[in-house]
Chains A and B, each alone.
Chain A
Amino acid sequence: MSLEFFDACTQIGTRTKGQPDQPYTISEYMDDMEHYGISGAVVYHATAREFDPADGNEQLLNEIVQRPNLDPQWVVLPPDTRELPPPEELVSQMTERRVSSARIFPKLQNFQANAFFLGELLDVLQSAQLPLFVEFGEIGWSDVIHLCTEFPRLQLVLTKVGYRETRYLPAILRKLENLTLDTALLANHGLLEEYCAWFGSGRFVYSSLWPFLDPANAIAMIGYSALPDADKQAIAAGNLRKLLRRDSDA
């Protein structure tokens, strides 16, 4: 059977320290989408990550205009720095401009991912039902637990969780129901099947981590898994659509 893939994590734009053969343009990503059979994607901009969120977020919208299959994601900061509009205004702008999720880089951008620094913003995000994405390497388990318990209606999507985290993950998934994981580096033999049996397939989303990794990694892991076809399709695309409230697009 073929599957439809909706990619939870892609970055576009030129980077401070790129590999010479790594792509960075929208058209290069669109070409790969066709090659690998990916129909849509959540995208943030490298400038928002590596230079300035306000500038990069705006650049993202300019670059993906008229690309309805690309879901813009904004990088956000602690509101007290006033580098971005106040939380209510920021989230209102996101909703108006079809930005369906937010992302933080607390380690790289030098702040702590907790209620003290992000509380007012996370309150507004969870009220607006906009999920928050963060890489595991940017945050760590203590902050994941803190955010999910302090903000129980916030949907936290944790990306780039590696295969060596399996002594943490069962308790994390059982106790934090508002946590979703991407499957790009969750590469363990048989783990997806085991966790879907324990926690349900609704906790996982496909991501490519383009342009850093090979999009085929997680595509083939999901496609060749022992899961029922409905679970495969949910992980490949359906779960992300639900998180982004794009169900009607399917």
Chain B
Amino acid sequence: MPEDSILERAKEFEAFHDLEIIDAHCHVGPWYNFHVPRRGSIESMIESMDRVGVRYVCITAFRSIGPDMLRGNDEVAALQKRYPDRVLPYCTISPNYSQKDIQKELERTYADGFRAVKIHDFHGRAYDSSPYHVVYEFANQFHLPILAHTWGKQNGSVLARMCEKYPDANMLFAHGGSANREAYAQWANDLPNAYIDLVFSAQPYRNVEYFVANVPAEKILFGSDMPFLSLGQQIGKVLFARISDEAKRKLLSINARQLFSQAIELAEASS
């Protein structure tokens, strides 16, 4: 296959079903401070996935990032059961529940087939506050990936310290390049269990190229933030990037297939 085949196909807006793309950072549902078309339904997301050629989306419910962790995780569980061949579930943990309830929710969702965790400091607590240690302990024990919202050093530095403390939990630093780009590169280089995703509404010029040049391609994952953001808008930066097709395959599929291997195994067994 010629070196530029992905770029040339992207210019024709072909669907990339053959790449088995995995979108590592998605949500589902509406949100409080702006309008989300079609209430951010999974069906609207699957339509986008089919147009672009995305196999799986890893989803966390906005309701859980908002006020209701339990109902949000229930929504995700129901969607995973409805679309087992398209949806990989994140258990979203709010640190505003008791540590006992957090432990219970991790166990409940694990029993229901969740094999990844999402945390977001929109909940108002720092990533080294005590409720989060319950999450890290659990993920460390079961070798689970944790997707964490980050925005540069502000909260990424704290998460980097947690990476060192919990080496068997793989931490996916969301929004690589949003701020302090060099810090993301350093974390991904220095910490074996640190990965970065590339979600950003205002994707900076050649951000993908920067990370591929400065970080092993195995440590970078594609995510879109759908249904906040358009899948097409977010994947363009990878499809059109001035990097090799081999690196694009790693970012779009191979790396996520490895990081989410437990979830994919369960999904493929059930679908």
Question: In the bound complex, do residue B206 and residue A190 qualify as a contact, i.e. CB atoms below 8 Å apart?
Answer: no
Binds B, one of A58-66, A100-108, A172-180, A207-215: A207-215
**CA separation between A28 and B137, bound complex, in Å?**
49
User: Given contacts A36-B240, A189-B36, A194-B37, are A221 and B230 in contact (CB under 8 A)?
Assistant: yes
Question: Which residues 193-232 of A have a CB within 8 angstroms of B?
Answer: 193-194, 210-226
**CA separation between A139 and B143, bound complex, in Å?**
49
Interface code A108-151, partner B: CB below 8 Å = 1, 0 otherwise? 00000000000000000000000000000000000000000000
Question: In the bound complex, do residue B37 and residue A189 qualify as a contact, i.e. CB atoms below 8 Å apart?
Answer: yes
Q: Is A1 an interface residue (CB 8 A)?
A: yes
Question: In the bound complex, do residue A187 and residue B229 qualify as a contact, i.e. CB atoms below 8 Å apart?
Answer: yes
Number of B residues near A (Cβ < 8 Å) is 42
How many A-B pairs have beta carbons closer than 8 Å: the answer is 136
Q: Is B201 an interface residue (CB 8 A)?
A: yes
**CA separation between A193 and B239, bound complex, in Å?**
22
Q: Which residue of A lies closest to B235 (CB)?
A: A220
Q: Is B204 an interface residue (CB 8 A)?
A: yes
Question: In the bound complex, do residue B33 and residue A187 qualify as a contact, i.e. CB atoms below 8 Å apart?
Answer: no
Q: Is B210 an interface residue (CB 8 A)?
A: yes
Q: Find chain A residues with CB under 8 A from B236 CB.
A: 214, 216-221, 224
Q: Is A2 an interface residue (CB 8 A)?
A: yes
**CA separation between A43 and B228, bound complex, in Å?**
30
**CA separation between A22 and B204, bound complex, in Å?**
9
B107–chain A nearest beta-carbon distance, Å: 32
Question: In the bound complex, do residue A185 and residue B201 qualify as a contact, i.e. CB atoms below 8 Å apart?
Answer: yes
B141–chain A nearest beta-carbon distance, Å: 35
Q: Is A249 an interface residue (CB 8 A)?
A: no
Pick the residue among B36, B38, B47, B237 that contacts A214 (CB under 8 A).
Answer: B237
Q: Which residue of B lies closest to A222 (CB)?
A: B232
Pick the residue among B51, B203, B205, B241 that contacts A226 (CB under 8 A).
Answer: B51
Q: Find chain B residues with CB under 8 A from A212 CB.
A: 204-205
Q: Which residue of A lies closest to B4 (CB)?
A: A35
Question: In the bound complex, do residue A37 and residue B11 qualify as a contact, i.e. CB atoms below 8 Å apart?
Answer: yes
Q: Find chain A residues with CB under 8 A from B239 CB.
A: 216, 220
**CA separation between A162 and B1, bound complex, in Å?**
38
Question: In the bound complex, do residue B47 and residue A166 qualify as a contact, i.e. CB atoms below 8 Å apart?
Answer: no
**CA separation between A144 and B231, bound complex, in Å?**
29
Question: In the bound complex, do residue B12 and residue A210 qualify as a contact, i.e. CB atoms below 8 Å apart?
Answer: no
Q: Find chain B residues with CB under 8 A from A97 CB.
A: none
Question: In the bound complex, do residue B233 and residue A220 qualify as a contact, i.e. CB atoms below 8 Å apart?
Answer: yes
Question: In the bound complex, do residue A221 and residue B204 qualify as a contact, i.e. CB atoms below 8 Å apart?
Answer: no
Q: Is B52 an interface residue (CB 8 A)?
A: yes
Counting from the closest, the 10 A-B pairs by CB-CB distance are: A220-B236, A224-B232, A221-B233, A216-B236, A216-B240, A190-B37, A223-B13, A189-B227, A166-B35, A214-B203
The contact sample of 9 A-B pairs, CB cut-off 8 A, is A23-B205, A164-B34, A193-B37, A212-B205, A213-B203, A216-B240, A217-B233, A221-B233, A224-B51
